[in-house]
């Protein structure tokens, strides 16, 4: 396949398999999405979705969250891993939202990435899924598949994001990143992957797109 043929094939295959792309993390507003995405670092969405109802039953707004002790948050979110760091970040960012943003989640990458525990990937998820701003959050699934599909050199997630943004139309980014995640989980896992049985890998040739 040529580069453009590969891009078209990937886009059409993903759209056929995943015409609907619900956000995997359970949430009700930008704040609860922000907290859920923060908790998902080095943790599965499935586990996060089991823990967030427990946390949000205690506090699902910045105002309520700052009333909890960091140790209380830590005890609830412990199954998600990295609980000392995540609990402190949740408490601190909630206070910053109250102090600097009138209790609202800011709608800019700069302000989001200035919050404790919020990196570029987390900010990208919130901007795309909470506010509809075009973004291409790159997680381990997307990084892995972009390399397998020869859409990126695979050097790091920063380069992968740049490559994918260059190759795909901006209007597809918000949906496409979720479609790739779903596909990676179902057909293209990190371990036990069978390329010949994969709906996309089986059709993409070995020749690199970067020539």
- Domain layout of the chain by residue ranges: 3-21+136-197, 30-129
Q: Is 150 noted as a catalytic residue in this protein? A: no
Structure tokens at 150: 């020869």
Contact 151, 167 (CB under 8 A): yes
Instruction: Write down how long the chain is.
Output: 211
Q: Out of 60, 74, 86, 121, pick the active-site residue.
A: 121
pLDDT of residue 104: 98
Q: Whole-prediction pTM value?
A: 0.90
Q: Among residues of the chain, what percentage have pLDDT more than 90?
A: 89
Q: Pseudo-torsion of CA 160, 161, 166, 170, nearest 10°?
A: 150
Name the nearest CA neighbour of 10 among 180, 154, 155: 180
Is 30-129 CATH 1.10.340.30?
yes
Contacts of 178 (CB under 8 A, 6+ apart): 18, 21, 23, 24
Name the nearest CA neighbour of 97 among 134, 133, 136, 59: 59
Fold of 3-21+136-197: Endonuclease Iii, domain 2 (1.10.1670)
Q: Is 88 noted as a catalytic residue in this protein? A: no
* pLDDT digit string, tens, across residues 138-161: 988 899 999 999 999 878 999 999
Q: Out of 139, 162, 165, 175, pick the active-site residue.
A: 139
Residue 204: pLDDT band by 50, 70, 90 thresholds? Answer: confident
């Amino acid at each position: 396949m040529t580069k453009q043929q590969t891009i078209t094939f990937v886009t059409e295959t993903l759209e056929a398999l995943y015409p609907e792309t619900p956000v995997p993390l359970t949430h009700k507003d930008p704040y609860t999405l922000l907290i859920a995405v923060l908790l998902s670092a080095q943790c599965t969405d499935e586990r996060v979705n089991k823990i967030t109802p427990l946390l949000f039953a205690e506090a699902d707004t910045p105002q309520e969250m700052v009333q909890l002790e960091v140790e209380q948050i830590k005890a609830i979110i412990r199954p998600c891993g990295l609980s000392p760091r995540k609990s402190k970040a949740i408490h601190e960012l909630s206070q910053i939202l109250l102090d600097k943003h009138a209790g609202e989640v800011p709608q800019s990458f700069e302000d989001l990435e200035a919050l404790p525990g919020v990196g570029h990937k987390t900010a990208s998820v919130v901007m795309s899924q909470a506010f509809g701003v075009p973004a291409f959050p790159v997680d381990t699934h997307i990084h892995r598949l972009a390399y397998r599909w020869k859409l990126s050199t695979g050097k790091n997630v920063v380069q992968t994001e740049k490559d994918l943004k260059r190759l795909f139309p901006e209007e597809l980014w918000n949906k496409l990143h979720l479609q790739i995640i779903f596909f990676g989980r179902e057909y293209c896992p990190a371990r036990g992957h069978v390329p010949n049985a994969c709906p996309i890998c089986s059709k993409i040739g070995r020749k690199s797109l970067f020539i």
